[in-house]
Amino acid sequence: MIANMSESELERLSRMWKEHMRAPFPPRMRGREIEGEDMVLLDSYIAGGVVSSLSGPLDGKRREILLVCLAAIEKVLPSIDDDDGASEYYKHLRDMAALAVELGNANAR
């Protein structure tokens, strides 16, 4: 286990990641920009940060990317309806990114 990380938080992030990997990407979000944010790239950047967080402490660059992504996802969420689960998909991404940052903050203490 990574020093200073609560095992339960790390397990929670791991469970959330597994859930995310089983969820299909919302097809209507492919190639779509909302509020100037590329929805595929947003998914990709958060996924990279989460995987990094599961592998060890986040470096400053990955932590900053996740923080930028959190701000972006908060900006776009109100514009996403949930007819096909897209809103829930991106809320789940947001929650994973927030937990990964939180784990990184705990590790930095």
- Residues 81-98 have pLDDT tens digits of 877 889 999 999 999 999
pLDDT in tens, 23-45: 999 999 999 999 999 999 999 99
Element (DSSP H or E) covering residue 97: helix 86-108
CB 95 within 8 A of CB 47: no
Confidence of residue 108 (pLDDT cuts 50, 70, 90): low
Q: How confident is the model at residue 1 (pLDDT cuts 50, 70, 90)?
A: very low
Identity of the residue numbered 38:
D
- Say whether 109 sits in a helix, a strand or coil: coil
Amino acid, res. 29: M
Alpha-carbon gap, residue 53 to 14, rounded angstroms: 10
| Alpha-carbon span 18 to 7, nearest angstrom | 16
CB 17 within 8 A of CB 103: no
